[in-house]
Amino acid sequence: MSDGKPAPIRVQGLGKRYRRMTAGAHLRTLKSALMDGSLLGGLREEETIEALKEIDFEVGRGEAFGVIGGNGSGKSTLLKIVAGILQPTTGQVVVDGRVAALIELGAGFHPEISGRENVFINGTLLGLTRAEIEAQYASIVAFSGLEAFMEEPVKNYSSGMYVRLGFAVAVHTDPDVLLVDEVLSVGDEAFGHRCVRRMEELLAAGKTMLLVSHSLDLVSRLCDRVLWLEQGEQRLLASPRRTIDAYRQSVADAEGREHQQEQEQEQREAEEAGTERWGSGAARITAVRLLCGGEEEPDRERYLVVCGDPLTFEIQVETTIPLEDFVFGIAVATPREVEVWGTNTDLHGLEAVRLEGKATVRIECPELRLGPGEYTVDIAVHARDGAPYDYRRRVVRFTVTAPERGAGVYFPRHRWHFEGGVACRPRPRSPEE
Amino acid sequence: MLETARRSLRFRNLLTTLTRREIQARYRGSVLGFFWSLFNPLLLVLVYSVVFGLILTPERGSGLDPYPLFLIAGLFPWIWASTSLLESTVSLQAHAGLVRKAVFPVELPPLVAVLSNLVHLLFALPIVLLALLVGRILGYAVGGWALLLFPLVVVLQLPLVAGLALALAALNALFKDVRDLVSNLLTLTFFLTPILYPVSALPWPEARPWMLLNPFAPFTLAYQHILFHGTAPPVYLWLLMALDSTVAWALGAWIFSRLRDTLVEMA
């Protein structure tokens, strides 16, 4: 965009309405198409479904633009309209330059004929001339890693091989604009890496990319900006980190609501069975919440945490009789009950003074360095000798995401150093903005 | 209608590639390969020759000998037309992967069906020529210089078949009934077209001109003139052929372009 030329992808006020096809609607569609040239004219409101409404964005030269959202949010429709496969109902979409749409890799492969011949057909489909394909052929085959199978009919290929060949052809078309829809999930890990590297190379070479994916990791790794679609509407268009976090939070919230009743039900049953909650009841834990902590919005509840963020565990407790002998404890574990962290006021060197009426206890962690994954929390209040007043197992859960991947439950702050005959450099595109 | 023609020309690279693919794929894995494009129509000629030449020998009038050659003249081009129309009707569904998932001009699948079957007709031409040669040797006045007009008739018929193919493909995406309708209509049209019999065999002389309303009739008569009688078709046949072809292409291309946007979603 900095070079003053218009952005290669420009989407303005885009809306798409699909027709629900009922028996009578076919006839009316035909009639209205032939009489007034409009496909929707003859249809009533309830016979159409709005897949996209009022979408506006531009993707600049060399920019990688991600689109995320749940199933049925309109992501693929958007991509197909940008690719020119579907026509918009309202608004305008302009795309400049040669487009390679990786929507279904190997779309157009003919099962009965050889991989070699299919490369030529697929290449022609993507706009290459025969001479151009011949020039690129060796490189395409090498990229796909299918040297030994090129003379084999593609019906004998595995689905992974199919995708590899399709991707190899597509990225060799020297596209100006690359449209990618969730295509890399089929190949194996090694090929997936090779594809991502290739996409990074294309981006570094100033190509423009529109990526639709459920893989938030991939989106945050590749993209400069991310659009979140929900039921065809533009929810948020911002940096990958902001959009993805907002999206995850919303998914977690929705799941939370969904699972809340379920969990409460489970909890009640467990309480009755005495496996999830036990104790004398001299003190009762009435609520446990997780709060953002930190400085910005310390009191906002949050169950989705980015590794390294602050987090506060808040415990509401009640007693009917004043207590002088008590210990508050917390234990964090993975869903498979691997203990990750546990401590209590006694271990922390705190001596009980009094506990009466209603009280709030907070455990503040300024920096939670857990690895990505799901965690459960046990909270207990008990006597110094261990006799429980109220022990609540798995009273709350939370999810941790991390900007970089890794294994395990602990993510210390770290840095790599190299000396002597070794050198590394950051990948052309670093994960975050 | 010109727009559709222009689009098709712009994508001729793709059109030839896909047509080649269609032909390559058809006989892949079969032992006799492309010889089937010869055997299939020949077998039909044999069957009709036996049934209508030997078993049922009605008063066809004179001048139909040798009957197998008369049959070939009308039957081979008819097989091209009818197979093209059957295949193109379902072509958008058959190429659904391309139509729905790739940036792809939707008019190509029906046109590929027409062209690949045209290639099969051309493959069969040596057999036709051989048959005519044998006819000549046996002393019949078949073939001759009029044969040079054959390509012209084929080129004239192409817009007719292609136009119908476009219309049928588009309509079948909306109504799956079209496929069954087409296969029945083709059977009916086959018997209404003077392929097995000459127009003069119609018992009601006043009905004969009406036969020419069938757009395939002038073409069949022209092929019979060129291949069987060895004469150039009369002017009124050329005019009819040009008219039928223009109307069919215009109509087919118009229907297709009006429905184009919905085809991708419905294929």
Question: What is the crossing angle of helices B67-89 and B216-223, to 10°?
Answer: 140
Q: Do B258 and A107 touch (CB under 8 A)?
A: no
Distance between CA A153 and CA A145 in Å, rounded?
Answer: 16
Same domain, A80 and A225: yes
Q: Is residue A267 part of a domain?
A: no
3-state secondary structure of A428: coil
Decide which of B55 and A358 is more confident: A358
pLDDT, position A1: 43
Size of interface A-B (CB pairs under 8 A): 78
| Chain mean pLDDT for chain B | 87
- DSSP structure string for A211-240: EE-S-HHHHHHH-SEEEEEETTEEEEEE-H
pLDDT, position A87: 85
Distance of residue A133 Cα from the nearest chain B Cα, in angstroms: 13
Pairing of strands A388-401, A339-344: unpaired
Domain range enclosing B228: 2-266
Q: Is residue A40 part of a domain?
A: yes
pLDDT, position B8: 66
pLDDT tens, residue by residue, A97-127:
888 888 777 677 878 788 898 898 888 887 7
Find chain A residues with C-beta within 8 A of B18's C-beta. 121
Same domain, A208 and A347: no
Same domain, A191 and A294: no
pLDDT, position B112: 94
pLDDT tens, residue by residue, B144-174:
888 999 999 999 999 999 999 999 999 998 8
Contacts within 8 Å (CB) and 24+ apart, B96-99: B96/B267, B97/A104, B97/A107, B97/A108, B98/A107, B98/A108, B98/A125, B99/B263, B99/B264, B99/B267
Q: Is residue A261 part of a domain?
A: no
Decide which of A432 and B60 is more confident: B60
Q: Which of A37, A39, A107 sits opposite B98 (nearest CB)?
A: A107
Angle at B202 between CA B201 and CA B206, to 5 degrees: 135
Would you say residue A47 has pLDDT above 80?
A: no
3-state secondary structure of A242: helix
Q: Do A110 and B100 touch (CB under 8 A)?
A: no
Same domain, A285 and A363: yes
Q: Do A103 and B28 touch (CB under 8 A)?
A: no
Substitution target in A20, A30, A169 with the highest count of B β-carbons within 10 Å is A30
pLDDT tens, residue by residue, A271-319:
665 567 888 888 999 989 888 877 777 777 888 888 888 899 999 999 9
Distance between CA A68 and CA A237 in Å, rounded?
Answer: 10
Decide which of A257 and A156 is more confident: A156
Give the residues across from A293 on adjacent strands. none
Q: Phi and psi of A352, rounded to 5°?
A: -70, 135
Whether residue A108 contacts residue A125, with contact meaning beta carbons closer than 8 Å, is answered with: yes
Same domain, A63 and A208: yes
Would you say residue A3 has pLDDT above 60?
A: no
pLDDT, position A39: 60
- Report the CATH number at residue A91: 3.40.50.300
Same domain, A389 and A292: yes
pLDDT, position B41: 83
Q: Is residue A155 part of a domain?
A: no
HSE (side-chain half, CA atoms, 13 Å) at A92 = 4
Complex-level ipTM beyond the 0.85 threshold: no
Q: Is residue A3 part of a domain?
A: no
Substitution target in A36, A48, A118, A124 with the highest count of B β-carbons within 10 Å is A124
The token pair at B234 is 């009369």
Find chain A residues with C-beta within 8 A of B28's C-beta. 112-113, 153
pLDDT tens, residue by residue, B196-217:
888 888 888 888 888 999 999 9
Q: Is residue A260 part of a domain?
A: no
pLDDT, position B123: 86
Q: Is residue A77 part of a domain?
A: yes
Domain range enclosing A237: 9-97+176-246
pLDDT, position B59: 61
pLDDT, position B222: 96
Which range, A40-54, A135-149, A258-272, A394-408, is most confident? Answer: A135-149
Q: Which of B102, B175, B265 sits opposite A86 (nearest CB)?
A: B265
Q: Is residue A290 part of a domain?
A: yes
Distance between CA B90 and CA B168 in Å, rounded?
Answer: 8
Would you say residue B10 has pLDDT above 70?
A: no
pLDDT, position B219: 97
pLDDT tens, residue by residue, B115-143:
999 998 998 888 899 999 998 888 887 87
Same domain, A205 and A350: no
Q: Which of B24, B103, B255 sits opposite A83 (nearest CB)?
A: B103
| Count of structural domains within chain B | 1
Same domain, A289 and A227: no
Task: Kindly state the average pLDDT of the residues B234-256.
Answer: 95
- Report the CATH number at residue A284: 2.70.50.60
Which range, A5-9, A39-43, A229-233, is most confident? Answer: A229-233
pLDDT, position A432: 42
Q: Phi and psi of A7, rounded to 5°?
A: -65, 145
| Count of structural domains within chain A | 2
pLDDT, position A126: 79
The percent of residues in chain A predicted with pLDDT above 90, rounded, is 23
Run of H or E residues at A9: strand A9-19
Same domain, A75 and A210: yes
Q: Do A107 and B101 touch (CB under 8 A)?
A: yes
Same domain, A232 and A289: no
Would you say residue A2 has pLDDT above 70?
A: no
Which range, A7-16, A200-209, B41-50, B243-252, is most confident? Answer: B243-252
pLDDT, position A343: 93
Read off the DSSP letter of residue B50. Answer: I
Distance between CA B226 and CA B73 in Å, rounded?
Answer: 8
Say how many C-beta atoms besides its own lie within 10 A of residue A249's C-beta. Answer: 14
